[in-house]
């Protein structure tokens, strides 16, 4: 049954809407009775979206980053956290407990070489057949794009940050 | 206060993730205590996402289309429904009751000339200052892009439809 098979989707590019699309996918999937795991790499901030678990009981969110972005070089702590996060996601994927697993900003972890594309692809290759995987973050490496079934690139045509608009609670985070 | 001002965001392009990003924005905004109105043009299908109102009490969804897409030429009924939808959205925007108003697939309504860009822009020009407007749908007309503060183009790099994957409940709709 083609419809029950799980695919690998990638949302990349420098435009707004990647994590946002993953959140939208989450909402739609939960409305259809599915169970979703959202793992956030390189993020440990108290975003508004973390409250979503209060509304959506079939949603689990775990964060694997720190309370700030990586500047310049990642520290050993950044690497350790990311590797632990990847191991955790591997367990979650293999458990077959979730219909959809979101590896949010995993492309950024790859960009900083916190682990390798090969490690990620090895996990994807062993995923249960019905599990859908959503990968987000700018700079998706070519190997991930090649492995994915669907790839959307969010292109920034116009952004209000250039106008001096600041990050707003409930809109950007 | 720059942070309280409402902007106009557009999600267009032929890639997956436009309405999905709008749903993600909805979820994040509601987590932050905001009130969201989602108006769907040219859509009247019983999508999974309609159930979101059961989970998110600050969300209102209204559909202005029929139970099928427009094929070839729009009928007078398609035009009438879209115009009624636009009037309804104008009322909702002017009421100032909602923090975020999503005009989902309004670009498709414009593409089919169900109403004009000028009519839409006249409404945008009079919106309350703090109201955020989200416009989705492929084929965003240039006038709408010019009027927007943020524009993201979802580019289709790879799509599994070409592999024969069918639309799946809880993933695509």
User: Is a pLDDT exceeding 50 seen at residue A78?
Assistant: yes
Residue B89 · residue B113 · CB < 8 Å: no
For B156, other C-beta atoms within 10 Å of its C-beta total: 17
Q: What pTM was computed for the model?
A: 0.91
B5 to chain A: which residues are within 8 Å by CB?
165
Q: State how far residue B165 is from chain A, nearest Cα, in angstroms.
A: 6
Q: Pick A114 or B16 by higher pLDDT.
A: A114
Q: Give A169's pLDDT tier (boundaries 50, 70, 90).
A: confident
The predicted structure's pLDDT at residue B3: 59
- Which ipTM did the prediction report? 0.88
pLDDT for the residue numbered A3 = 59
Q: How far apart are CA A134 and CA A151, in angstroms?
A: 10
Cβ separation A158–B148 shorter than 8 A: yes
* Partner residue opposite B149 with nearest CB, options A34, A56, A163: A163
CA distances from residue B14 to A93, A124, A152, B77, B140 in whole angstroms, order as listed: 30, 26, 9, 26, 11
Q: Please identify which residue in the block is written with the tokens 């996402």.
A: B49
Task: Count Cβ neighbours within 10 Å for each residue of A118-129 and write b for 16 or more, e otherwise.
Answer: eebbebbeebee
Give the SS3 label for residue B91.
helix
Is the predicted pLDDT of residue A1 greater than 60, yes or no? no
Does residue A38 lie within any of the structural domains?
Answer: yes
* Residue B107 resides in a domain: yes
Contacts of A10 in chain B (CB under 8 A): 157
Q: Residue A2 — pLDDT band, cuts 50, 70, 90?
A: very low
Asked if B43 and B105 count as a contact pair (C-beta separation under 8 A), the reply is yes
For residue A19, being part of any structural domain is answered with yes
User: pLDDT digits over A36-64, tens only?
Assistant: 999 999 998 888 999 999 999 999 999 99
Please check whether residue B163 lies inside any domain of the structure.
no
Q: Mind giving me the DSSP string for chain A?
A: -GGG---EEEEESSSS-HHHHHHHHHHHHHHTT--EEEEETT-----GGGGHHHH-TTEEEEE-S-SS---SSPPHHHHHHHHHHHHHHHHHHHHT--SEEEEETHHHHHHTTSS-HHHHHHHHHTS-TT-EEEEE-SS--HHHHHH-SEEEEEEEEE-GGGGTPPP-TTTT-
Establish if A20 belongs to a structural domain.
Answer: yes
Give the per-residue pLDDT at B50. 94
What is the pLDDT at residue B139?
95
A167 part of a folded domain = no
Cβ–Cβ of B9/A20 closer than 8 Å?
no
Out of A100-114, A144-158, B4-18, B150-164, pick the least confident.
Answer: B150-164
Q: Which pLDDT score, from 0 to 100, does residue A152 have?
A: 95
Cα–Cα distance between B149 and B6 in angstroms, integer? 10
CATH number at residue B14: 3.40.50.300
Give me the domain span that covers residue A121: 2-155
What are the pLDDT tens digits along chain B (173 aa)? 445 789 999 999 999 899 999 999 999 999 999 999 999 999 988 889 999 999 999 999 999 998 777 777 899 999 999 999 999 999 999 999 999 999 999 999 999 999 999 999 999 999 999 999 999 999 999 999 999 999 999 999 988 777 777 788 888 88
DSSP string, B96-153: T--SEEEEETHHHHHHTTSS-HHHHHHHHHTS-TT-EEEEE-SS--HHHHHH-SEEEE
Chain centre to alpha carbon of residue A1? 27
* Domain annotation covers residue A115: yes
Q: Which residue has the tokens 């890639």?
A: B15
For residue B39, how many other CB atoms are within 10 A of its CB?
Answer: 22
Start-to-end CA distance of chain A, whole Å, equals 38
Query: What mean pLDDT is predicted for residues A6-31?
Result: 95
Q: How many domains does chain B have?
A: 1
- Domain membership flag for residue A163: no
C-alpha angle with apex A135: B9 to A24, nearest 5 degrees?
40
C-beta atoms of A152 and B49 within 8 A: no
Rounded to an integer, the average pLDDT of A10-25 is 95
Residues in chain B: 173
């Amino acid at each position: 049954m083609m419809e029950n098979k799980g695919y690998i989707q990638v949302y990349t590019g420098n435009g707004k809407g990647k994590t946002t699309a993953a959140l939208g996918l989450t909402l739609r999937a939960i409305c259809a009775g599915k169970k979703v795991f959202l793992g956030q790499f390189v993020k440990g901030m108290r975003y508004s979206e973390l409250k979503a678990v209060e509304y959506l009981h079939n949603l689990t969110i775990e964060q694997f980053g720190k309370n700030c972005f990586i500047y310049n070089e990642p520290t050993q702590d950044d690497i350790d956290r990311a590797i632990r996060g990847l191991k955790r996601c591997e367990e979650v994927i293999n458990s077959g407990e979730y219909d959809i697993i979101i590896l949010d900003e995993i492309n950024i972890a790859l960009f900083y070489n916190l682990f390798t594309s090969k490690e990620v692809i090895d996990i994807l290759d062993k995923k249960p057949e019905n599990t859908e995987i959503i990968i987000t973050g700018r700079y998706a490496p070519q190997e991930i794009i090649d492995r994915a079934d669907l790839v959307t690139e969010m292109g920034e045509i116009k952004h209000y940050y250039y106008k001096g608009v600041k990050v707003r609670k409930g809109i950007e985070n």
